[in-house]
Amino acid sequence: MKYLSILLVCLSLGLASTDVNAEGRAYPKTDEEFQKMVDALEWSIEPKTYEIVHSNAKFQLPEGFGMLFGHQAETYLFLNNGTEFSNIDALVLKGETSEELIFSFQETGYIKDDDWSDLDADLLLEGIIESTEESNAERIKNNISPLEVVGWVQEPVYDESANMVSWAIKARDADGDEVINAIALKLGRKGFNRITWVGAPNEYIPNGGLLEEASVRFKYDEGFKYTDFASTDKVAAFGLASLVAVSAGSKSGKGVALGLLATILAFGKKLWFIILIPFVALRKFFSRKTKTVQHKEPEE
């Protein structure tokens, strides 16, 4: 049974990918088993503000979107990727497109941004290319097309006023189909939340798109914002530039000073993951579900 469609790889930090049997469940072998798991997903589709407990944050869900939390979100990704993912706080799916957002918080401690000037985008891209080529062996083993990194769509940009770093990378598969992955790291007092945008290339909008909108709709609770830092708080052993390098997929450490490479790679080693664009079966089910509900006005 092959459900997988266009491949989007998000080479970034925060979601731990494990063997499909790591949690004791096997991938469904029949359409009936698959559909049973899909039907069991409990979508929150009322447009309002939802708590994302582990992140100490809230997200205002727009109309026409659906949201899954925790294990439900992990099950969705399992069905869509054939691989277990852990540390997922929430997943948001847009009904009219193939776009989705994945939220994952990492409690690293407060991340200082004073090393930002150490980031070298050209060297970082080299590291991402090397890491992608290394991971292609696993893709081929799982009957998934290998990827070639084309280059930056947007180099890493740090918005100091929003305490957020974002970037986007273009890649292509063996059939020549191009894909984009886009990531936003939103810094907080206790760590960072990674928002991953997954979608088709023609759906990606660099300015004013869904990823940017999501970063605005996602808000840390009072006392957990980056600006709420106190001198007694735990501070991460690595800075922002090192975090971005590993989050973007550079396992070689290219793009940052090497002094803290061992520390940041030890933290990020188990947090490597692959994400696929939602295939038709999941999108159709979600679309049917949203059409049966009379939405209420969003909460302020």
Task: State mean pLDDT over 210-223.
Answer: 96
The b-or-e profile of 122-142 (16+ CB within 10 A means b, else e) is ebbbebbbbbbeebbeebeee
Is 249 or 173 the better-scoring residue by pLDDT? 173
Residue 180, pLDDT above cutoff 50: yes
Instruction: Give residue 95's pLDDT.
Output: 79
DSSP assignment, residue 79? H
Question: pTM, whole model, 2 decimals?
Answer: 0.78
User: Tens digit of pLDDT for each residue in 143-179?
Assistant: 667 888 889 999 999 999 999 999 888 888 888 877 7
Q: Residue 120 has what pLDDT?
A: 83
Average pLDDT, the chain: 77
Average pLDDT over residues 134-145: 72
pLDDT, tens only, 35-65: 899 889 999 999 999 999 889 999 999 999 9
* Of the listed ranges 77-86, 207-216, 228-237, the one predicted with least confidence: 77-86
Q: What are residue 233's DSSP bridge partners? A: none
**Residue 198 β-bridge partners:** 100
Evaluate if residue 202 carries a pLDDT over 60.
yes
Compute the radius of gyration of the chain from its Cα atoms: 19
